[in-house]
Structure formats: C-alpha cells, structure tokens
Amino acid sequence: MRNTHYNKIKGKKVLVTGGLGFVGHNLVKTLVNDYQCKVIVVDDCTNSNESVIASVRDKVTFHKVSVLDGDAFFPLMVDVNYIFHLACIQIAASSSDPLLDMQVNAQSTLQLLEQIRHGEYPVLERIVYTSSCSVYGSTSRLPLDENDPTNVLSNYAATKLLGEQYTLIYNRNYNIPVSIVRYSNVYGYGQSPRNPYCGVLGKFIHNSLTCQPLTVVGDGEQTRDYTFITDAVDATILAAVHPMAYGDVFNVGSGIETSVNRLANLISDYVKDATITHVPERDIDNIRRRVVDIEKIHQRLGWVPKMGLQKGIESTIDWYKTIL
C-alpha cells in the first residue's frame, strides 16, 4: 500500500534546484504528473538544457538562474512549501574546478540556509539536500550505514559532506526543517549518455548500443550499489513529507552489491552484439567496494526500492534506444 505521507505534497508549491539535471528533471516530472505540484525549476544549465522538461513545460516555471545568485534565486522561494536542493557540480568535474565545486555543492547550501534563517518563510515545510554515499569513502566494513564514519576521498565528497553538515547545523541551531538523502549510484532513463559524467552503467549501455565494447577497468570486481531513478525520486519525496525524516540523514540505495562484471554481463545478455574488453586499473579508482545499508529509511520512513537491477537495466536500455 502507498505510504499516505506522500499525499502531503499534493498540489503544493515546490522549488527544485538543479531541476534540469538527471535526478532533478525526473523529480520535477513526478511532482507535476503524480502530485499536481506547482513546480519552480532553478537551473543555470551548466550540465543540462530545458528540453528535458518539455513534456511538463506548460505546468512548470523555469528560471535559468544560478543558485549562487541570491538576488535572482531568493525571491523565487517566497510562498514555497518544499525546496529540493539538487544543483551540483558532479564528481568528474569537481577536481578540475574545485572552487566552483565548493561554491555550488556547499556554499549555495549555506547561502540558502542563511536566507531562510533571516527571512520570512512561514509556509516552508521542508528542504531536502541531496547528498552522496561517496561521503563514506573507502572502508572494509560493509554495508555502510548512516552512523559509519565519513572518509572523503574526492573534492566532490568533501563538498557534499560540507553541504550536509551546514544543513544539519541549521536544523539543530535554528530549527530550519531539513532532511538529507545520500544517494548511491543512481541510474535509469533521463541520464544522457552524451553527458561525460553518466557513470559506468550509462557508458556501458551507450557503448553496447553503438557497437563499441564495454570497457571493464581492472578485474571488474569493483562493486557499487545501484539505485533506479524512480526509487531515488520516491525516496526523495518521502524524505520531504515524512515527519520522521525531519533533521535526519538517510541512505538511498538497493542494499545490493553489484560488480562491474555483473553489469557488463547483464547488458550483454540483453543487447545481443555487445562485446566486453578489459583495460588496466586507473589511479582514480580509489573505492573498491561499496554497498549501503537501507534499514534506516526502511524502518523509519517505510521506503523500499521497487526496481530490480535486471529490469532497471532493461528499461534503461529501452529508453536509450529511443534517443540514440
């Protein structure tokens, strides 16, 4: 049975930063189509374009604005009930422009929280900050739960963790209503294969459909925990509406550890001509294994992932076929 807390967001006014991004535009579409929300999208198109929300464009207000530009951004928050703060500089770009990474991932969050602390936002019910399981870094103790120590190994992980910490501090010190989700490798439709940051799964699917080999780095036994986009969106909305999510942090994943070899095999089972090739390990492959514990979000909020990996990959491949 559908968790009744979801009904709270129906018809509400919602602002989504980074709302043209992979997760963002899927979230926007769900908020419009399933919850009849009045959605304001804020995105500066650093890594996206407006065409991704074409199907809901007449029901959404889009502002090509940077989250760092308070003069343009803050007036859009008036009378908003929920804010989903997704705007980010992705991990692959974070070390080439570390200052921008810090500004977008962390400073914009602090600016937003400061604005709410000093401004008048009487109908604001929740801000959701979307963080990343990369904050855990590398560890031998798996699965990772929210009480495990953080161990950042990249600029991106450092700035996402800083964004989280500001968010929690402003909750504790000023009662600003927040929740945090830590996504683990989100995949699925809407993640452009032309985007250089689309991750191993996106790259594999793109290559399998364009007659290029799936390139496995090292022995292929590196693992991650893959989350299907609809599950990530569902968990994010639940983190906004559930009273038990207030002021807290939740892993969002499948709880299943999947190797690169398994991904390659699942794809080559579905795309008949796909071939697999191996290349030596790179220095940046610094996290060997990752799988997250999803008991907290299950026990507290009643969320469980619904999409299995095989079906998720197949539906992602079917979507890629429509855009290639």
Rounded least distance, CB 217 to ligand NAD, Å: 18
DSSP 195: S
The neighbour count for residue 252, using CB atoms within 10 Å, is 28
| Residue 88 near ligand NAD by CB under 6 A | yes
CA dist., res. 163 & res. 238, Å (int): 20
Residue 50: which residues within 8 A CB-CB, separation 6 or more?
20, 57, 62, 64
Return the residues of window 149-208 that contact ligand NAD according to CB under 6 A: 160, 183, 185-186
| Residue 136 near ligand NAD by CB under 6 A | no
Rounded least distance, CB 111 to ligand NAD, Å: 11
Q: Which residues pair with 41 in a beta bridge?
A: 16, 62
DSSP string over 100-153: HHHIIIIIHHHHHHHHHHHS--TT--EEEEEEEGGGG-S-SS-SB-TTSPP---
Rounded least distance, CB 122 to ligand NAD, Å: 25
Q: Catalytic residue at 156?
A: yes
Closer CB to ligand NAD, residue 10 or residue 306? 306
Residue of 8, 12, 14, 24 interacting with ligand NAD (CB under 6 A)? 24
| Residue 102 near ligand NAD by CB under 6 A | no
Closer CB to ligand NAD, residue 104 or residue 144? 104
Number of residues that bind ligand NAD (CB under 6 A): 28
Residue of 81, 94, 111, 130 interacting with ligand NAD (CB under 6 A)? 130
Residue 186's nearest CA partner among 52, 316, 295 is: 316
Residue of 90, 154, 155, 159 interacting with ligand NAD (CB under 6 A)? 90
| Residue 137 near ligand NAD by CB under 6 A | no
Residue 263's nearest CA partner among 189, 185, 322 is: 185
The CA-based dihedral angle spanning residues 150, 305, 225, 52, taken in that order and rounded to the nearest 10 degrees: -100
Rounded least distance, CB 207 to ligand NAD, Å: 19
Compute φ and ψ for 214, nearest 5 degrees: -85, 115
Rounded least distance, CB 35 to ligand NAD, Å: 19
Residues with active-site annotation: 156
> What residues line the site for ligand NAD (CB under 6 A)?
17-18, 20-24, 42-48, 66-68, 86-88, 90, 104, 130, 132, 160, 183, 185-186
